[in-house]
Structure 1
Amino acid sequence: MAGQVGGQAHPRSVLVVDDHRAFAEMLGAALDGVDGLVCVGTASTADEGVELAARLRPDVVVMDIEIGHDDGLAATARVRQVAPGTLVAVFTAHAAPDWVARAAQAGASAFVGKTGSLDELVGVLRGVRGGQLVVAPSAYLVATGPPSELPAPVALSGREREVLALLAAGTTVRDLAAELGITLATAQGYVKSLRRKLGAGTQLDAVVKARERGLLDHDR
């Protein structure tokens, strides 16, 4: 587990498990660039996630609550069995109120909504400890908010959808500009527009919020 040696804190190691491989890699890269965290791997299936957890023994696993046709909470319980010292933060885009209790029963230590910010997730991963279940504000809203509070529809142009799909695939803004045959400045303008329309603070937030709104359902 993360600790201190000679007054210097060791980075907390993180494994990301999400059935969208590009998203898992994007999130892993984002977390790897944060002070105090280091991503040691990503997985896109429950079995792969459990195997990596057993082999790598990360401090924390970020576990998607639905991994394709697999149950992320069942995978959480398996991780806790094969790597008892590893904590699990359940990551979800939609939930029912009883899922928080189920997450606790599975051995999770945190419950975080994909609709939240990257800063919120980072804060949870830095502070989560064993013997507790931290429910992030974003997850609380997801689990308790009535249907009337669902995000309003977002209207995207054809080009914005192309840019969004490339971002979701892990393409950099510079590379997507080249692929679409547009200038870097124009590509940055589309990304800025997407962030504004989706209410996202970062490119990663934009992808998360787009997926939550069903704008990327075709990549499942």
Structure 2
Amino acid sequence: MATEQSTTTGQAARIVVIDDHRTFAELLAAALNREGDLDCVGMAHGVQAGVELCFELSPDLVILDYRLPDGDGLQAAEQILARAPDTRIVMLTGDPNVHAIQRAASVGICGFLPKDGALDILLDVVRGVRTGEFVVAPALLSRLDLLGRKTVGPGPSLTGRELEVLRLMAAGQDVSTNARALGISTHTCRGYVKSILAKLDAHTQLEAVVAATKLGLLGSP
């Protein structure tokens, strides 16, 4: 069953929380509503209920658990993004694995975090992905790296500058921040990102980071 929360006025991001742990969902909703720029407008506890609630409320952002009683969160994400592709989705998991992160990248999820992470980090990520950033927790990237190196041979050839941009992408920074860090224009940085995506046969920056990690291009965790 889904329950709708009261909304606030202004430009606060409208957020739906989908998690089968009701206490966790309620605590997270309360934490979001304490922030002036964030507003939890509804909660659901399964794939079907969550998708229906998102179709009803059209939230700006969804915080979604990976494991749900009637399926996994990626199934919900696929349905939500098929109908509302501009929706930002941050996925939480208590049991990270390489396959889930790979699927998340291909689906178009823009944040993937451990469920037991700090609330402050989650709030920062939620604000970041609103502006187009993507984030994968470093601990999850490290796990990807350790698993990926065992199975993948030599990858595509990236220039030194492309590798620098790729590492900054993996840190979860946006293009403007990366451009300033490298002392180049935003336009030039976007060009490097486009080249990286083409070489790694990726459609999104998150998908590129996943592919690069599997190929061992990001070095040691």
Cα distance in 2 for partners of 1:93, 1:145 equals: 19
Superimposed CA distance per residue, residues 83-113 of structure 1 (whole angstroms, 9 cap, x where no aligned partner): 2221111111111123211101122111011
**Which residue identity lines up with residue 20 of structure 1 in the other structure?**
H
Q: Does the residue aligned with 2:90 lie in a helix, a strand or coil?
A: strand
Report Cα offsets for 1:130-158 as digits up to 9, x if no partner: 86642123544676689xxxxxxxxxxxx
Aligned partner of residue 49 in structure 1, secondary structure: helix
Aligned partner of 1:119 in structure 2 is: 120
1:95 alignment partner in structure 2: 96
> After superposition, where does 1:103-182 map in structure 2 within 5 Å?
103-129=104-130, 133-137=134-138, 139-140=140-141
Unaligned runs of 5+ in 1: 1-8, 147-220
Which portions of structure 1, spanning 4 or more consecutive aligned residues, are displaced by more than 3 angstroms?
129-133, 137-146
Q: By how many angstroms is 1:69 displaced? A: 4.0
Is this contact kept in 2: 1:94–1:143, CA < 8 A? no
Superposition pairs of residues 12-161 of structure 1, within 5 angstroms:
12-129=13-130, 133-137=134-138, 139-140=140-141
CA distance in 1, matches of 2:36, 2:131: 21
Q: Percent identity?
A: 39
- The TM-score, its normalising length taken from structure 2, stands at 0.57
Deviation at 1:31, TM superposition (A): 1.1
Give the number of equivalent residue pairs. 139
Is this contact kept in 2: 1:115–1:138, CA < 8 A?
no
SS of residue paired to 1:89: strand
Q: Distance in 1 between matches of 2:146 and 2:27?
A: 28
Cα root mean square deviation, aligned: 2.4
CA distance in 1, matches of 2:82, 2:131: 14
SS in 2 for 1:78: helix
Deviation at 1:68, TM superposition (A): 1.7
CA contact (8 A) 1:87 1:130 kept: no
Distance in 2 (CA, whole Å) between partners of 1:45 and 1:61 is 13
**CA distance in structure 2 between the aligned counterparts of 1:28 and 1:53, rounded to whole angstroms:** 15
